[in-house]
């Protein structure tokens, strides 16, 4: 990959002693730290690829709002702190606000969990429920200790009902929580999702965990393009088996709030105290697919899903011929390598506040089975990349968030773009 190759060159060209003193290690999640209970004061940090490269183009290096030239005015009511609208086919980003802001993702992180495990686990494999599954915090589908649940059903429970217990059971089937998280971070790295740091398999708040409107769009575009995961997103109902003496069987329903949106391809909600409301979705109209992500908002004046619906309507009204303000990359291969001078030439700038990307956490030892071995290999690859990345410099440019509604230099936020920050009204 271009980024990996560039890191290898930098590592070979400059000894560790030559690295600037203000280099900042790439961020990691820290489950031992106090659990965050509110969004970061002053807004989230901004992410970038190794060397400070802005994934998707310099037009997305902004904390404000950017819109494609010639596009109609943005809809009213879109007040989320971060959001993005992109053509899933061409990758053109039509508009965005704080696209690389590293927000807490809440359960929208389950899109990465599904993306990582969908082709690693046999859907017919049966997983036995545990007491740990029963005790998971937050939203649960109702797994019972001693119950027997096929992996395919657990995937449905993960997507349809945002089951944190289902996420825990799937991670156990894949070799354990630690190697699954390592694999999630490695998968994000492969896709060029450098703003994402997974610290849990469910999206429950963990200090240092993050994703961005840009990265959520990358994940969801992959999910809707894969027939296996696309089918899971659109499954309307599923049946949970009964457990004798513990629980009767029951039906679960898809809780996507835009299930009735014309041409929907699915959606995933999220909410925690630190993330507030998050949502990612996609839809198709006249052969054109759009993906929309919304992060850091409240339920008023509009729910996250309703803001996403307005952005979808707006996006379909944008002529397909218009050039975007950036683009969704297909993989990390498409992320430019940082200029070598970033390492060799010191600058008077202070330390970068953000050095985005997956954490360097080493995967825990698995049970020796095939899933664990595959996850350990991915975790080792991620750790190797992280070690090389520490040598690369980070930009200290635009890392202090201005007011979220401000337009980036050289771009304009058209009339009707709405406020930039999230309302403080509780849900």
Distance of CA 261 to the CA centre of its chain: 23
Cα–Cα distances in Å, from 97 out to 80, 220, 330, 401?
A: 8, 18, 21, 12
pLDDT band at 407 (very low <50, low <70, confident <90, very high): very low
Percent of the residues in the chain that have a pLDDT greater than 90, as a whole number = 72
Nearest to 292 by CA among 320, 321, 328: 328
Mean pLDDT throughout 295-307?
Answer: 96
Q: Establish if 403 belongs to a structural domain.
A: no
Mean pLDDT throughout 385-395?
Answer: 36
Tokens 């697919």 belong to which residue?
A: 289
Residues facing 82 on adjacent strands: 295
Residue ranges making up the domain that contains 6: 2-389
Instruction: Say what the pLDDT of residue 17 is.
Output: 31
Separation between Cα atoms, residue 172 and residue 98, nearest integer Å: 35
Residue 217 above 90 pLDDT? yes
Out of 48, 110, 200, 417, the active site residue is: 110
Mean pLDDT throughout 130-134?
Answer: 97
Residue 302 above 90 pLDDT? yes
Q: Establish if 171 belongs to a structural domain.
A: yes
Residue 373 above 80 pLDDT? no
Separation between Cα atoms, residue 335 and residue 327, nearest integer Å: 11
Q: Establish if 418 belongs to a structural domain.
A: no
Instruction: Say what the pLDDT of residue 26 is.
Output: 75
pLDDT band at 323 (very low <50, low <70, confident <90, very high): very high
Instruction: Say what the pLDDT of residue 214 is.
Output: 98
pLDDT band at 25 (very low <50, low <70, confident <90, very high): low
Domain count, the chain: 1
Cα–Cα distances in Å, from 262 out to 116, 192, 225, 310?
A: 28, 30, 18, 12
Instruction: Say what the pLDDT of residue 4 is.
Output: 42
The DSSP bridge pattern shows strands 326-327 and 92-97 to be antiparallel
Separation between Cα atoms, residue 207 and residue 310, nearest integer Å: 32
- Decide if 178 contacts 28 (C-beta within 8 A): no
Instruction: Specify the DSSP element, H or E, that contains 277.
Output: strand 276-285
Separation between Cα atoms, residue 323 and residue 142, nearest integer Å: 47
Q: Establish if 337 belongs to a structural domain.
A: yes
Instruction: Say what the pLDDT of residue 63 is.
Output: 98
- Decide if 277 contacts 47 (C-beta within 8 A): no
Mean pLDDT throughout 160-166?
Answer: 98
Residue 358 above 60 pLDDT? no
Instruction: Say what the pLDDT of residue 356 is.
Output: 36
Residue 123 above 70 pLDDT? yes
Q: What is the maximum alpha-carbon separation in the chain?
A: 69
pLDDT band at 367 (very low <50, low <70, confident <90, very high): very low
Torsion, CA 88, CA 204, CA 40, CA 379, rounded to 10: -70
Instruction: Say what the pLDDT of residue 341 is.
Output: 63
User: To the nearest whole number, what is the mean pLDDT of the chain?
Assistant: 82
Mean pLDDT throughout 63-71?
Answer: 98
Out of 107, 210, 212, 408, the active site residue is: 107
321 is catalytic: no
Query: How big is the chain, counted in residues?
Result: 427
pLDDT band at 27 (very low <50, low <70, confident <90, very high): confident
Separation between Cα atoms, residue 51 and residue 351, nearest integer Å: 13
The answer to which of 46-55, 122-131, 167-176, 388-397 has the lowest mean pLDDT is 388-397
**Secondary structure class of 51 (helix, strand, coil):** helix
Out of 48, 162, 212, 293, the active site residue is: 162
Instruction: Say what the pLDDT of residue 338 is.
Output: 87
pLDDT band at 88 (very low <50, low <70, confident <90, very high): very high
Cα–Cα distances in Å, from 144 out to 43, 156, 245?
A: 39, 16, 11
Q: Establish if 405 belongs to a structural domain.
A: no
Residue 268 annotated in ligand binding:
yes
The answer to which of 188-197, 280-289, 378-387 has the lowest mean pLDDT is 378-387
pLDDT band at 347 (very low <50, low <70, confident <90, very high): very low
CATH of the domain at 232: 3.40.710.10
135 is catalytic: no
Separation between Cα atoms, residue 263 and residue 224, nearest integer Å: 12
Instruction: Say what the pLDDT of residue 115 is.
Output: 98
């Amino acid at each position: 990959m271009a980024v990996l190759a560039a890191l290898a060159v930098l590592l070979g060209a400059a000894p560790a002693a030559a690295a600037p003193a203000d280099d900042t290690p790439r961020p990691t999640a820290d489950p031992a730290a106090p659990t965050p209970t509110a969004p970061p004061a002053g807004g989230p940090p901004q992410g970038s690829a190794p060397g400070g490269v802005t994934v998707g183009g310099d037009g997305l290096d902004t904390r404000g709002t950017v819109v494609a030239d010639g596009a109609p005015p943005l809809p009213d009511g879109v007040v989320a702190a971060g959001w993005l609208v992109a053509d899933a086919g061409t990758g053109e980003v039509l508009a965005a606000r704080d696209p690389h802001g590293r927000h807490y993702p809440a359960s929208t992180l389950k899109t990465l969990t599904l993306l990582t495990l969908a082709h690693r686990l046999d859907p017919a494999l049966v997983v036995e429920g545990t007491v740990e599954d029963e005790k998971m915090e937050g939203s649960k589908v109702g797994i019972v200790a001693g119950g027997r649940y096929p992996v395919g059903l657990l995937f449905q429970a993960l997507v349809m009902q945002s089951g944190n217990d289902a996420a825990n059971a799937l991670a156990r089937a894949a070799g354990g929580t630690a190697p699954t998280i390592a694999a999630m971070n490695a998968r994000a790295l492969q896709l060029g999702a450098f703003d994402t740091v997974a610290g849990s398999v469910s999206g429950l708040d963990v200090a240092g965990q993050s994703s961005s409107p840009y990265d959520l769009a990358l994940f969801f575009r992959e999910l809707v393009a894969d027939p296996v995961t696309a089918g899971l997103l659109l499954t309307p109902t599923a049946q949970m088996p009964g457990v004798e003496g513990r629980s009767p069987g029951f039906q679960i329903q898809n809780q996507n709030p835009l299930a009735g949106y014309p041409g929907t391809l699915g959606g995933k909600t999220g909410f925690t105290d630190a993330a507030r409301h998050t949502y990612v979705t996609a839809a198709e109209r006249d052969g054109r697919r759009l993906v929309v992500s919304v992060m850091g908002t409240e339920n008023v004046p509009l729910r996250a899903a309703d803001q996403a619906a307005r952005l979808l309507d707006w996006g379909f009204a944008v002529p397909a011929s218009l050039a975007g303000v950036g683009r969704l990359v297909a993989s990390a291969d498409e992320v430019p390598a940082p200029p070598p001078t970033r390492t060799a030439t010191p600058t008077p700038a202070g330390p970068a506040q953000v050095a985005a990307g997956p954490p360097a956490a080493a995967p825990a030892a698995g049970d020796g089975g095939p899933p664990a071995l595959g996850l350990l290999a991915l975790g080792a690859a991620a750790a190797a990349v992280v070690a090389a990345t520490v040598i690369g410099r980070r930009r200290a440019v635009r890392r202090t968030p201005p007011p979220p509604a401000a337009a980036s230099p050289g771009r304009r936020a058209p009339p009707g773009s709405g406020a930039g920050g999230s309302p403080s009204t509780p849900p």
